[in-house]
Structure 1
Amino acid sequence: MSGFTWHGGRLAEARALYGGEDWLDLSTGISPLVWPGVEQIALDWRALPEPDDLTALEAAAAAHFGVEPDHVCTVPGSEMGLRLVGRMLAMPARWLVPSYRTHGEVFADGAPVEHWDGAAEPIALLLANPNNPDGRMITPERLQQWLAALEQAGGWLVIDEAYADAAPSCSLAREVGDRRRLILLRSFGKFFGLAGVRLGFLVGPRAIVAQARRMMGEWPVSAAALGFGRAAYRDREWIAKARGSLDERATELDAVLARHGLDARGNCPLFRLVEVEDGFCLFDRLAQRAILTRPFEENHRWLRLGLPGDEAALTRLDRALANG
């Protein structure tokens, strides 16, 4: 069970343990709505990525986030950006839990906290917004108060906004600036359904961005990441439709879970957390029906379910929950 509690995915492991081929993977928070333009982009795998393509990608991403391009550094996934931040700040830290396991590995000197009271401390405060796995969202107003307190004490606010594309109102991107001690991490793959591209961004003051660019080098991501990301971020019509569709599907998932006595937690439309008597038992019950979900070692009562991609997938989950 330990492998399944570490992170989502691991379909090969599930097949080996439970058998079957036709699996429904609800173990991740990756959008089931895949950006459709990926099949139309031609890539020249013989050539090195061009600097102009990187510049164009960062301009497209910056416009999407609502910041200037020179506040954006491309990284091969938001997790890599977090690890860069830990090295660059090199200061005592606190990170809000529950959250990603990676957050506990970012800073060498720090401790997890379940709550933070907004004290003026010379620390780096790291949190995810929307949060994973419980979908908690902290309002921008509250985050601005925390940022002001941290800045007063010489600290930093670091926000993992990997899921913010699906819930843009929670983003603090508009507060990014050279005089702000604020760093954001953004993910491409989760919202656009292309996690395998391994593309993310560090967003922050120009000095931090310049330092991160030096650390990443001339070719931080592949030609595919440059091509897919640039075109996808410019596809505003699809982005708007996807957000609406994700909200509708999340509402439908909530209704199915409620019908089976499961109270869904969280406001991020890409996943829901439920609390039951035995999360491992429910995980196993669904896995016996070739549906992969995400259990948690730190809390055996939790189970996270990703968003089913269509009506057939939702119906399959509904039937599996009914046949308990």
Structure 2
Amino acid sequence: MGGKIEHGGNLARARALFPHAPEPWIDLSTGINPNSYPHSPLPGNAFSRLPDPEDLGRLKEAAARSYGAPSAAHVAAGPGTQILLPIVARLLKNGGKAAILSPTYAEHARAARLAGYDVREVNDPERLLEADLAVTVNPNNPTGRIVPRPQLLELAARLREKGGLLVVDEAFQDASDSESVADAVDSGGLLVLRSFGKFYGMAGVRLGFAISHPGLIARIEDELGPWSVSGPALRIGSEALVDKEWKRAMRERLHRSAVRLDALFEQRGISVVGGTSLFRFVRHAEAQRIFHTLGQEGVFVRRFADRPEELRLGLPADDQWGRVETALAKFTC
């Protein structure tokens, strides 16, 4: 089964690796927007009352409009997409074969194994058809790879014919020019996952969505049970998801930041080969030296134990650019 999966955001690990690095740490090891959504003040009873079912209904309506789902009945809300993964993996109830388009977010494979699947990691989207449960992250984490919408819909249709399911994790779609397939879930054979916290810079709120045929959504909600989303998350999500102007402006801001970060790396002879506007993907023969150079300066980025030539970097906050530039200047090819 393997050991514990390593993820970004672990500053205790950063401190252990670089005990003499200056603090505060600049954590670029995740793909979370450093600019959090400026939500309205929460009502005084947001933490003292159980979440209201009517508020959940409003959140689902907002999510359906924002993500292009056919209706609120096609949306299940949960405390982060991480919690939804094992529930989704159990929907087919038959174990069998699972295929994950890789390299990608490792928790999809783990959830499928826990659900009893024989899991294979594949690098060709057509090989997803060899499985009963097929998963692709689109745009992909960490590479930014995009499988075009027409190909995804064709894969879903062919999987549907044999009783399978295509799961498309669109966690980073808000920060990408890729086309969502959330509007096409009513035909069956297709389930879309959407993450709230990454684009809205509020990962700690723990809010995520599954979008699929209402029959599958009802089964997911039965497993989640009542009050699966906190009262504060219901309020914040309902407000943010319908704020089209903030989303438009933020997409432009993140794009400018991504271009700026690419330029810093290219000045050091390091090419950025992929990513989204929330994270950049580097493949370089000296990736481990880049990782250590930045880490010694208190800048933590994501590396991959099984792919030592690859790094993923999130975006700095406005007040962090100077330190990032100074740290990167210490790397010489």
When normalised by structure 2's length, the TM-score is 0.90
C-alpha distance in 2 between matches for 1:217 and 1:224: 18
Check the 8 A contact 1:121/1:149 in 2, yes or no. Answer: no
Check the 8 A contact 1:184/1:204 in 2, yes or no. Answer: yes
**CA 1:236–1:116 in structure 2 vs 1: closer, same or farther (change >3 Å)?**
closer
Name the amino acid aligned to 2:77: T
Residue 159 of structure 1 pairs with residue 168 of structure 2: yes
Instruction: Report the 3-state secondary structure (helix = DSSP H, G, I; strand = E; otherwise coil) of the residue aligned with 2:313.
Output: strand
Partner of 1:7: 7
Partner of 1:77: 80
Instruction: Report the 3-state secondary structure (helix = DSSP H, G, I; strand = E; otherwise coil) of the residue aligned with 1:29.
Output: coil
Name the amino acid aligned to 1:322: A
Give per-residue Cα distances to partners, 1:36-75, cap 9 Å, x unaligned.
115x223422111111111111111111011110000011
Name the amino acid aligned to 1:10: N
Partner of 1:321: 328
Partner of 1:105: 110
Name the amino acid aligned to 2:12: A
What 5-or-longer segments of structure 1 have no aligned partner? none
What 5-or-longer segments of structure 2 have no aligned partner? none
**Match runs of 1:36-115 below 5 Å:** 36-37=38-39, 40-44=41-45, 45-67=47-69, 68-90=71-93, 91=95, 92-107=97-112, 108-109=116-117, 110-115=119-124
Partner of 1:229: 237
C-alpha distance in 2 between matches for 1:165 and 1:41: 25
C-alpha distance in 2 between matches for 1:197 and 1:160: 19
Name the amino acid aligned to 2:30: T
Partner of 1:304: 312
Q: How many angstroms does 1:151 deviate by?
A: 2.1
Partner of 1:145: 154
C-alpha distance in 2 between matches for 1:153 and 1:192: 37
**CA 1:43–1:220 in structure 2 vs 1: closer, same or farther (change >3 Å)?**
farther
**CA 1:77–1:239 in structure 2 vs 1: closer, same or farther (change >3 Å)?**
same
Check the 8 A contact 1:26/1:292 in 2, yes or no. Answer: yes
When normalised by structure 1's length, the TM-score is 0.93
Match of 1:132 among 111, 134, 141: 141
C-alpha distance in 1 between matches for 2:275 and 2:7: 20
Give per-residue Cα distances to partners, 1:230-269, cap 9 Å, x unaligned.
1111211111111111111111111111111111122411
Name the amino acid aligned to 2:161: Q
Q: How many angstroms does 1:223 deviate by?
A: 1.0
Name the amino acid aligned to 1:211: R
* CA-based RMSD: 1.9
Q: How many angstroms does 1:209 deviate by?
A: 0.3
Identity in percent: 39
**Match runs of 1:268-287 below 5 Å:** 268-287=276-295
C-alpha distance in 2 between matches for 1:63 and 1:112: 33
**CA 1:121–1:303 in structure 2 vs 1: closer, same or farther (change >3 Å)?**
closer
Instruction: Report the 3-state secondary structure (helix = DSSP H, G, I; strand = E; otherwise coil) of the residue aligned with 1:191.
Output: coil
Name the amino acid aligned to 2:324: L
| Equivalent residue pairs, number | 319
Check the 8 A contact 1:126/1:160 in 2, yes or no. Answer: yes
**Match runs of 1:257-276 below 5 Å:** 257-276=265-284
Match of 1:198 among 192, 206, 231: 206
Check the 8 A contact 1:58/1:69 in 2, yes or no. Answer: yes
Residue 27 of structure 1 pairs with residue 29 of structure 2: yes
Check the 8 A contact 1:76/1:220 in 2, yes or no. Answer: yes
Partner of 2:126: 117
Name the amino acid aligned to 1:141: P
Q: How many angstroms does 1:299 deviate by?
A: 0.5
Check the 8 A contact 1:66/1:174 in 2, yes or no. Answer: yes
Name the amino acid aligned to 1:123: D
Give per-residue Cα distances to partners, 1:270-313, cap 9 Å, x unaligned.
11111122433221110110001011001111111111222x42
Match of 1:252 among 252, 255, 260: 260
Q: Which moved more, 1:71-80 or 1:273-282?
A: 273-282
Check the 8 A contact 1:95/1:112 in 2, yes or no. Answer: yes
Name the amino acid aligned to 2:110: E
Residue 290 of structure 1 pairs with residue 293 of structure 2: no
Instruction: Report the 3-state secondary structure (helix = DSSP H, G, I; strand = E; otherwise coil) of the residue aligned with 1:274.
Output: strand
**CA 1:55–1:234 in structure 2 vs 1: closer, same or farther (change >3 Å)?**
same
